């Protein structure tokens, strides 16, 4: 049930009401299985479901989704920092553990890590009162149309192999990157990362979110 709530939370960023077919695709199940679970969630008031109009999280459902996301991202960071897991290994382990962790235990992890605000991949971690930063201002690296300086904010964590490759390129959250050239007709991007030049295709760049790099003037108070 928690996995469905997480999926619905993500899907609602694109549409207020989500179709059961979109839920099924996100969960990798049949439409019938997705509809059955949505009805079960509706019976305990975690979602509002209307046939042909789709499904949306209730206030209780959104809180439950955010609590699970909070557990997942704190566990990822703990696995990386305390146990030496690679950032390409933590997602799968966190998926197993997130459902067994209590809010009190999650709070202890958060305190031990110094109250972090981002997970290893740059995703915001919901606070103890389930508030979460909005990444709506970030752009896909693939959508950048002109040379310039950007900062990596988030890297998609759904593919471990992609994470390993992105890590080798140095495209880590918080890293400043200079876009030296943008090839036309959706061609590759030439980047400078840590003084090293590399060329990345648009498919990979789709999985990296960036924002404009901070300029020196922005530090002046």
pLDDT in tens, 95-121: 999 999 999 999 999 999 999 999 999
Taking only the tens place, the pLDDT of each residue in 179-192 is 999 999 999 999 99
Cα–Cα distance for residue pair 157/132, rounded to 1 Å: 18
- Same CATH topology for 2-57 and 139-219? no
pLDDT, position 134: 79
Q: Is the pLDDT of residue 221 over 60?
A: no
In CATH terms, the fold of domain 139-219 is SH3 type barrels. (2.30.30)
Q: Residues 22-33: what's their mean pLDDT? A: 95
Structure tokens at 199: 């060329």
Which CATH number is correct for 2-57, 3.40.630.10, 3.30.1490.70, 1.10.10.10, 3.40.47.10? 1.10.10.10
Residue 191, beta-bridge partner list: 179, 198
Cα–Cα distance for residue pair 54/215, rounded to 1 Å: 44
DSSP character string of 11-72? HTTT-SSB-HHHHHHHHTS-HHHHHHHHHHHHHTTSEEEETTTEEEE-HHHHHHHHHHHHHH
pLDDT, position 215: 46
Taking only the tens place, the pLDDT of each residue in 121-166 is 999 999 999 999 877 778 999 999 999 999 999 999 999 999 999 9
Would you place residue 216 in the very low, low, confident or very high pLDDT band (cuts 50, 70, 90)?
very low
Q: Domains of the chain: which residue ranges?
A: 2-57, 139-219
Would you place residue 214 in the very low, low, confident or very high pLDDT band (cuts 50, 70, 90)?
low
pTM: 0.88
């Amino acid at each position: 049930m928690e996995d469905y709530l997480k999926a619905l939370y993500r899907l609602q960023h694109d549409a207020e009401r989500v179709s059961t077919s979109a839920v099924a695709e996100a969960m990798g199940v049949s439409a019938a299985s997705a509809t059955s679970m949505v009805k079960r969630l509706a019976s305990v008031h975690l979602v509002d479901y209307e046939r042909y109009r789709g499904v949306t999280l209730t206030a209780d459902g959104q809180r439950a989704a955010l609590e699970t996301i909070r557990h997942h991202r704190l566990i990822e960071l703990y696995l990386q920092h305390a146990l030496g897991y690679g950032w390409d290994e933590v997602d799968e382990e966190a998926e197993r553990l997130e459902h067994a962790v209590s809010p009190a235990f999650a709070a202890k992890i958060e305190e031990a890590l110094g109250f972090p605000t981002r997970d290893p991949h740059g995703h915001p971690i919901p606070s103890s009162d389930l508030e979460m930063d909005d990444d709506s201002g970030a752009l896909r690296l693939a959508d950048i149309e002109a040379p310039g300086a950007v900062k990596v904010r988030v890297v998609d964590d759904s593919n471990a192999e992609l994470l390993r490759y992105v890590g080798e390129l140095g495209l880590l959250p918080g890293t400043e990157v200079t876009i030296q050239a943008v090839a036309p007709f959706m061609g590759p991007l030439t980047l400078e990362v840590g003084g090293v030049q590399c060329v990345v295709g648009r498919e990979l760049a789709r999985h990296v979110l960036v924002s404009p790099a901070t300029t020196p003037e922005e530090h002046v108070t």
